[in-house]
Amino acid sequence: MADTPALTLHSYWRSSAAYRVRIALALKGLPYRQVTWHMVKGEHQQPAYRSLAPFGLVPMLEIDGLRLQQSLAIIEYLDERHPGAPLLPADPALRAQARALAQLIACEMHPLNNLRALKRLRAQFGADDEQIQDWYRHWCAEGFQAFEAALPAAQDGGYALGDAPTLVECYLIPQVYNALRYGADLAPFERVRALVQACAGLPAFEAARPENQPDAPQSAAA
Ligand SMILES: N[C@@H](CCC(=O)N[C@@H](CS)C(=O)NCC(=O)O)C(=O)O
């Protein structure tokens, strides 16, 4: 049926890019089936996955046979097909701001801290755990500083762009999850912390949490 397509999310519990899409799907109330590719075991690089998702990156969303890669393209597609609970504001200037904030995370922060970049630091330059953590935290601090500077003035509704979460929170919350895993200090980022607080406990964000995914190890269960 056109209005209720069969959705399959190719995912990994700890993938922050998949986490963005899980939040968007949950905010839209769209049910989906999940297929797991174990990233730490490198399953996402194997031909079985690459034949479906040539970028070899998680997530990929299948919608009635259409295969979409790149979280921003996926989320915008979902928003256009399912306009209820909009993830982009109606106003063009605010839409551009929402995309800019999401892309600040997706294009300027996340790639520098992605699994393959960290692996390369180890393999090519012999970086140890402490150096990797330091690298990770450096880019988080720089990124969150820019993010806060780019945020519009605090909104009465408590979210980045008004009284409901949008694309911005879909990107911010997973990036904060990653940052905390690597011991980043969020104390200087009051507005980031306020947005995390605003989303904490919302059912969509709770459902999308890595620890609540079917492929999360028992030891990580929330
Ligand atoms: N820009 C892509 C990023 C996708 C991406 O890098 N996903 C990560 C997981 S969060 C991945 O597959 N990493 C594989 C690797 O680094 O080897 C998106 O937004 O979907």
Please report the pLDDT score of residue 2 as a whole number.
47
Please report the pLDDT score of residue 218 as a whole number.
83
Is the shortest distance between the CB of 17 and ligand 1 below 6 Å? Answer: yes
Mutate to test the pocket of ligand 1, among 115, 171, 173, 181 (most ligand atoms within 8 A of CB): 115
Please report the pLDDT score of residue 4 as a whole number.
62
Residues 109 and 190: their CA atoms lie apart, in Å, by 19
Question: Which atom of ligand 1 lies closest to the CA of 20?
Answer: 19
Is the shortest distance between the CB of 60 and ligand 1 below 6 Å? Answer: no
For the chain, domains (ranges, CATH) are 8-85 (3.40.30.10), 92-207 (1.20.1050.10)
Q: Which positions ≥6 away from 184 have C-beta within 8 Å?
A: 136, 137, 140, 141, 144
Nearest residue (CA) to ligand 1, atom 6? 57
pLDDT tens over the chain, length 222 residues: 445 679 999 999 999 999 999 999 999 999 999 999 999 999 999 999 999 999 999 999 999 889 999 999 999 999 999 999 999 999 999 999 999 999 999 999 999 999 999 999 999 999 999 999 999 999 999 999 999 999 998 778 899 999 999 999 999 999 999 999 999 999 999 999 999 999 998 999 999 999 999 999 988 865
